[in-house]
Structure formats: C-alpha cells, structure tokens
Amino acid sequence: MKPILSILARRYIAGETITDAMSAAKQLYGDGLLAAIDNLGENVRDEQSSLAAVREYLKLLDDIICSGVRSTVSVKLTQLGLDISDELAFQNAEAIAAKALSQNNFVWLDMEGSAYTQRTIDIFLRLRKDRPNVGIAIQSCLKRSRADLRLLIERHACVRLVKGAYKEPPEISFKEKKDVDKNFEIMMRELLLEGNRPAIATHDPRLIEAAISFASERNIPSKDFEFQMLLGIKRSLQKSLASRGYTVRVYIPYGTNWLPYTMRRLMERKENIFFVIKNIFD
C-alpha cells in the first residue's frame, strides 16, 4: 500500500521536510495564494517527542521569515503533548505562539476529535489572554459547535470554520451531509456578521458562493474574511477566487509522519476516500 499511497499523497502533502513545505508555499504565492503550514503529527505519548515538535515549529517560523512567503502555521495540540497533560500542551503551544507573535505571524490550533474539543477550547482561551495571534478551528458536524461559536465570538476570537473530518458518535454529531452543511451555513453567517476576520474553510462551491453573496448583501468587505482549502483540492477554484480578489489560504501539510496521517484519515470515514478521489483530476 505504501507505494500507492505515496503517489496519491504527493498531490496533497508537500513532502517530508520544511524545504518541501516552503517550495509548495512559494508556488502557491506565485498564484496569489497564501499558506498555512502544518507539520504532520498527533497523539504523541512522550514529552521529548512533543518538545521535538516545538523545535520543528520554531524552525518553520524562522524559515517562513527567510523565504518571504506569506504563511501562518497550524498545530495539533495532541502533537504538543495533550495526551500527556493539558499543561504540557499549553506550555508548548505558548512557546510557538510567542515566537510567532515576535515575528508578526499567526498560529492556528487545529480541532481534533470530539474527545479533545473542550480541552482544545480551554487551552485556546487561556493562550489568547496574552497571545492574540492565535486562532481555533470549529467543526460544524458537532451539535455543540453553535454554542462554542457564540462563546468564541464574545471573546473576539479568530475562528476557522470547518465541516470536520472525524467519525463521531451520532448522539453528538450530525450524520447527514445536509445537516452538516446547514449548520455550517448558519455558523458562517454568524462569523461573517460578528466574527474577527474568520476563515471559511470549505471546498464546497455552493457554500463559498453563499458566503460571497451574504457578505455582499451585508456590505462586508472581502478583506474581513478569508477562504481556506487543502493543498491539491479544488486548485482551479482556489485560483479563481484569488483572481476575484478574495483571500485564499491553502493548508500545506508536510512531515515524515505522512503515511500514518494518510492512513488514519482514509480509514476514519469512507467519505474522506471519495473526497480525495473526486478531486484528483482538478
């Protein structure tokens, strides 16, 4: 399976090194697209591995400055030690955020499975007291997310709205795509009206045009929000939106952990497999 997945992954994962990520970011920048770079890794079980992830992100931030590309970074708290302790994850995330703030850069906290939702929000709110350059992802597939969004809007947080790629129990999540999409659209409107420069993270053309229409109707400037998409997905749509004057940021994953990352995502939900295959020729 590894050779097959390696061929497939080349489109959606920049490579194994920071140099590979920088190369992908530079190519996107040439097309008028911004980047959010993620060093792949999650669920580390020892403190030394979490500290190694911090060192990688600190180097990544320096390399972004040297490269001249416009890129934020994106991190998972379980890569920073959340499975070990909340305090370790907080301290490691704070080190990355502090370095980013000193360079006038930004850090996104990815949202992982529902077992980590509340802890991720708690750490985010604690971080943001001194680090305003931190944002958080919220998943429209979870039934709790509208309440979470209200809290985050009240705290003037930067939010990345996503549908969610994790398989979740039916009692806490919407199972039908139409319900996930409906919740996404409701939350998207709230963010456009009241959010702090939100990120609308979707590849769905209908939802993207709905956001554009809503913003236009309410006289919300395009500079007050951005669209985010994954590397290698809907590339023509990414360029089209950028050519229309919208900010588009592309999520660039890289790292030696690309195989377990790819396998987990494909095995978690059959929809992830169909999504990759459907977009392979765009």
Phi, psi for residue 220 in degrees, rounded to 5:
-90, 115
Q: Which residues contact 136 (CB under 8 A, 6 or more apart)?
A: 108, 109, 111, 120, 121, 124, 152, 157, 158, 159, 160
Report the C-alpha gap between 275 and 106 in whole angstroms: 29
Q: Is 110 a catalytic residue?
A: yes
Among 258, 249, 253, 254, smallest CA distance to 225 is for: 249
Tokens of 245: 């004057």
Which helix (H) or strand (E) segment holds residue 230: the answer is strand 226-230
160 included as an active-site residue: yes
| Two tokens, residue 272 | 């992830």
Residue of 110, 128, 131, 181 marked catalytic = 110
Buried b (16+ CB within 10 A) or exposed e, 172-202: ebbeeeeebbebbbebbbbbbeebbebbbbb
Name the active-site residue from 128, 131, 148, 160: 160
* 152, 146 contact by CB (below 8 A): no
Measure the CA–CA gap between 33 and 28, rounded to whole angstroms: 5
Among all residues, which ones are annotated catalytic?
A: 110, 160
